[in-house]
Chains A and B, each alone.
Chain A
Amino acid sequence: DAGVIQSPRHEVTEMGQEVTLRCKPISGHDYLFWYRQTMMRGLELLIYFNNNVPIDDSGMPEDRFSAKMPNASFSTLKIQPSEPRDSAVYFCASSSRTFATNEKQFFGSGTQLSVL
């Protein structure tokens, strides 16, 4: 399996622009997570989905952030409009209900976002 695939690997944009981050989870996994990593706040869970349905979005910082999962093999995290404080590494992870417990999340390599 190719693992969790995120794109783009790096994104540089200007303040006010729309940014879309993409994630392809591991085939067969029915849980998908979006995390943000910054020096100041560490690794934070933004939102997670189960069977394409958002379960907990309490970590989404504000209305400028939105996430969708139109099908089992694709998810997006959108920031509109972007701000410099959104600069961070965004990780996507997936997991499977076949793990009887929350035994393992598989992480992608992340998207390094820089908002100028």
Chain B
Amino acid sequence: AQSVTQLGSHVSVSEGALVLLRCNYSSSVPPYLFWYVQYPNQGLQLLLKYTTGATLVKGINGFEAEFKKSETSFHLTKPSAHMSDAAEYFCAVSPPNDYKLSFGAGTTVTVRA
């Protein structure tokens, strides 16, 4: 079974500051890991994914995440926040070659001018 825990339901950052969203997972098999973003009144969009290979993955809009097996973590970062980054972010996990995603509860990011 797979599950995801996102630490912090709300994160507030200043424009230009580092964005750090935390995600820890539980999986009985090597996981595939994902970060999705949801803007108001829209569906989810994939930011980035880890399946195999390089543990530091880069996604769209300047985001990146690092898979750390020893810490069972997949934290999302962006060096410099923009106002347009205000949204809800979801971490998700699935077994390899399985289409069933399990999502975390989500983290809402607000960006202060």
Q: Which residues of A contact B (CB under 8 A)?
A: 4, 31, 33, 42-45, 48, 50, 55-56, 91, 93, 95, 101-105, 107-110
Contact = CB atoms under 8 A, between A and B. Distances in A.
Nearest to A41: B105
The secondary-structure label for the interface of chain A is: strand
Contacts of B41: 109-110
Given A42-B106, A43-B103, A45-B101, A101 B43 contact: no
A66 to B, nearest CB: 20
Question: Which range holds the interface residue count of chain B?
Answer: 20 to 34
A42 B104 contact: yes
Find the residue from A31, A44, A107 having the highest chain B CB count within 10 A. A107
Interface of B: 32, 36, 41-46, 49, 51, 90, 94, 96-106
B44 A91 contact: yes
Given A4-B43, A43-B106, A101 B100 contact: no
A110 B41 CA distance: 8
29 contacts: A42-B103, A42-B104, A42-B105, A43-B44, A43-B103, A43-B106, A44-B103, A48-B100, A55-B99, A56-B100, A91-B43, A91-B44, A101-B32, A101-B51, A101-B97, A102-B32, A102-B94, A102-B98, A102-B101, A103-B49, A104-B49, A105-B44, A105-B99, A107-B36, A107-B44, A109-B41, A110-B41, A110-B42, A110-B43
